[in-house]
Amino acid sequence: MDILEKHIIKQLSSGGFILALNTEAKIDGQAEAMLQALHSRSTGGIKSHLKTLAEKGAENFMEKFYVGYGHKSIGDCGSATVFVEGISMLAAKAIQDWRLYSGQEASTRYVDFSEQKFLNPSGAKEGEEILENWRKFYLDAQEPVREHLKKQFPKKDDEDQKIYDKAIIARAFDITRSFLPAGATTNVAWRMNFRQFADELMLLRHHPLQEISDIAEKTEAALKETYPSSFCQERFPNTEEYNKNWMQGKYYYKNDSAKDFALLYDNVDRKMLSEYKEILEKRPMKTELPMAIAECGVVTYEFLLDFGSFRDLQRHRAIVQRMPLLTLTHGFNQWYLKSLPEDLKKKTEDFLKSQEEKIKKLDISEEERQYYIAMGYLVPCRFSGDLKALVYLAELRSTRFVHPTLVEQILKMIASLKELFAKDGLVLHLDEEPNRFDIKRGEQDIVEK
């Protein structure tokens, strides 16, 4: 038997596919959910529940109690893993735009973009030309950028050559990724419980982009085939219409007047926060603040950040953030241009202007236009978080191992947090040299041994 036959695969219209993983477990996600549900309602014990499972199976139970009676918490007890391949960077972010998402996305540093498909939703020859221009520029820039970096950061005598070379390559990719269009394809692993899958798919099927609504429908179909009794929820017209109006009217965040960095509001109750002063002052390094501190309120920030680095910021699902619309409005992040060798800068500026003119001429919606815009263009990032979430974000994303464009904005946020909360006892444990080139970046890899 073909190794793939046991898994449920659904082809996407864009050419990618959805694979719902069959772990071949004797007790699968549905059965596990049933056992936990029985355990919450009976003192018979797990041994008797296992006997019930063996005699009756989980299918009827899940369809009756989880779906039929609406006991949604039962869906928290079973989980599924879905692999999504050949989807755009935009689709990957949409999937991950869920606070209880778990999974992984392919890094742009480990994808061969000489062959990787770029999605052209317009179907027009002009769209294909724009995408291929990005590809050629990205590939042609690799070697000149690497040589430039070696001159900037020469290898020290005590540094390992292989690690140094990998660090240079990683840094070069961090610079040149800015020329990859958001329509470049990637892969995502997606693991959540049944309830979260159902709730997120309910929204994604109304996403403004056809690619993403297709992913939602095919994912639901794959899960329904894998777990037929757990993904057979009725669709209510009023709910569907409500979700459609919200998703297609207000999903993307757009702010043409967004500033480089702004504190939008501080809604933290200082009197309540005073009860946590000792906890703030005595927190050791690499230790998170207690969840309870969230009761004191939230702070909201907004800044401009290139879409490439926004992808890293979005990983912090403890903060509440809007999905920005990728446009040409805010320009290309200058850090990428400054990081290029001198003889390439002027060529790059002319190339960007040419690409922008061609992108503007495409007869498509502003949502679809995102596919043709490179990830070095700036987007407005607005987010809110309690002190636990913001401190974690500040300390993790301000180190020398984080992309410099994100570090730049996080350092501004850190300065703001210190100004707001230093007298309340806030202590931050920070990298003393956040902008130093460190070849340990070359060790950050996942390899088979």
**What is the residue extent of each domain of the chain?**
8-107+185-251
The structure tokens 């913001």 sit at: 390
CA distances from residue 300 to 268, 318, 383, 413 in whole angstroms, order as listed = 10, 13, 6, 10
For residue 235, count CB atoms less than 10 angstroms from its CB and return exposed for 0-12, middle for 13-18, buried for 19 or more: exposed
Q: What is the DSSP letter of 98?
A: S
| Closest C-alpha among 314, 339, 288 to residue 101 | 314
E strand map for 194-247: none
Tokens read off for 357: 């003119």
Per-residue pLDDT at 231: 85
Write out the DSSP string of 347-410. HHHHHHHHHHHHHHH--S-HHHHGGGSBTTBEEEEEEEE-HHHHHHHHHHTSSTTS-HHHHHHH
Q: What is the pLDDT of residues 288-308, one digit of tens each?
A: 999 999 999 999 999 999 999
In degrees to the nearest 10, what's the CA dihedral of 89, 92, 98, 100?
A: -130
Task: Determine the pLDDT at residue 442.
Answer: 54
At residue 189, what are phi and psi to the nearest 5 degrees? Answer: -100, 135
Q: For residue 403, which amino acid is it? A: H
Residue numbers in the chain where pLDDT is lower than 50: 69, 445-449
Class of domain 8-107+185-251: alpha beta
- Nearest-Å Rg of the Cα atoms of the chain is 24
Question: What was the pLDDT predicted at 448?
Answer: 37
CA within 13 Å, CB half, 139: 12
CB 313 within 8 A of CB 381: yes
DSSP H or E stretch at residue 189: strand 185-193
Distance, in Å, from the CA atom of 138 to the CA atom of 258, rounded to the nearest integer, reads: 28
**What secondary structure letter does DSSP report for 70?**
-
Q: How many residues can be counted in the chain?
A: 449
Cα separation values, 141 from 55, 94, 169, 340, Å? 63, 29, 12, 9
Within a 10 A sphere around the Cβ of 171, how many other Cβ atoms?
23
| β pairing state of 102-105 and 185-193 | antiparallel
pLDDT of residue 3: 64
Report which residue type is found at 150.
K
The dihedral built from the CA positions of residue 117, 123, 124 and 125, taken in this order, carries a sign that is positive
Q: Between the CA of residue 10 and those of 90, 100, 235, 382, what are the distances in Å? A: 20, 24, 21, 35
